[in-house]
Structure 1
Amino acid sequence: MRIQLVQHLLDRQMVDSTGRPVGKVDDVEFAVGEDGAAYVHTLLSGPGVLGARVGGRVGRMLVLAAERFVTDRPMAPVRIPFRLVERVDSAVWLRVRAEDLPGSPVEEWLRRHLIERIPGAGRASG
């Protein structure tokens, strides 16, 4: 699948196989094939990745704000192998369900420390 990276991937919403939004593509990781051609190997998502891409003072603020919610620093990005991409149009559609993807460290912290403490949160549909 040939695509223009900035126009078709970066900042696109990723959607799981059930139509659930799972994050945005903040950066990509390349690999080099046996033929010497570079290709997109992994989609990266998360505030740490976005902050590094944005750079400067704003990028550092994004990273610092997100790292307040995690214990492991530097914060690891969510890494999604490009082979899990079904198609790319106005969104990046994945072949798998959100539950089968690695979790976001920030979302996990918010779920444990905030959402689970809300009365009735365990009965919420999702």
Structure 2
Amino acid sequence: MTRERMVDARLHLLSRQVLDVDGEPVRAVDDLELIGPDGQAARAGAEVRVGAILVGPVLFVRLFGGAVPVSRQPRIAWEDVGHVGTAIELTVPSDRLDADWVEHWLRDHVVGRIPGGRHDPEGDG
């Protein structure tokens, strides 16, 4: 049985830290994907529910303009949320999420090209 709860998105969700099932930080909530009760796109004036948490590169978009393609917006399905409290607690480990694709891309295409950029400062060498 699914228990639904009404929350104020600005107060209870936006900018909250997201933790995976092991308590490891994933990201902070940047935005929400809202959907209608039938699972279709949300319509103005109609009932909506949260379909996913968006944890994308909002800062880059604000600084450089443009828009992130919908297919590349890092999202965490609402079904993976286990508890909403002072943090958003997930029921899955972070390695099963695609929320860090921006960091991986920057690591591989920008930082990794800088001399010494592939050196692990906490590693053995």
- What is the TM-score normalised by the length of structure 2? 0.70
- What is the TM-score normalised by the length of structure 1? 0.69
Structure 2: any 5+ residue segments left out of the alignment? 39-45
Quick one: distance in 2 between partners of 1:106 and 1:18?
Answer: 22
Contact 1:77 1:104 in 2 (8 A): no
Q: Paired residue for 2:111, among 109, 114, 118?
A: 114
Q: Paired residue for 1:93, among 89, 95, 113?
A: 89
Q: Paired residue for 2:48, among 34, 38, 42?
A: 38
Contact 1:14 1:94 in 2 (8 A): yes
Seq. identity, %? 29
Q: Paired residue for 1:77, among 49, 65, 73?
A: 73
Q: Paired residue for 2:29, among 21, 25, 30?
A: 25
Contact 1:84 1:94 in 2 (8 A): yes
Deviation at 1:109, TM superposition (A): 2.0
Q: Which has the larger radius of gyration?
A: 2
Structure 1: any 5+ residue segments left out of the alignment? 53-58, 68-72
Decide which structure has greater helix share.
1
1:118 aligned partner, one-letter code: R
How far does the alpha carbon of each residue in 1:38-67 deviate from its partner, in whole angstroms, 9 at most, with x for none? 11111111223x566xxxxxx2x1xx28x9
Aligned-CA RMSD value: 2.9
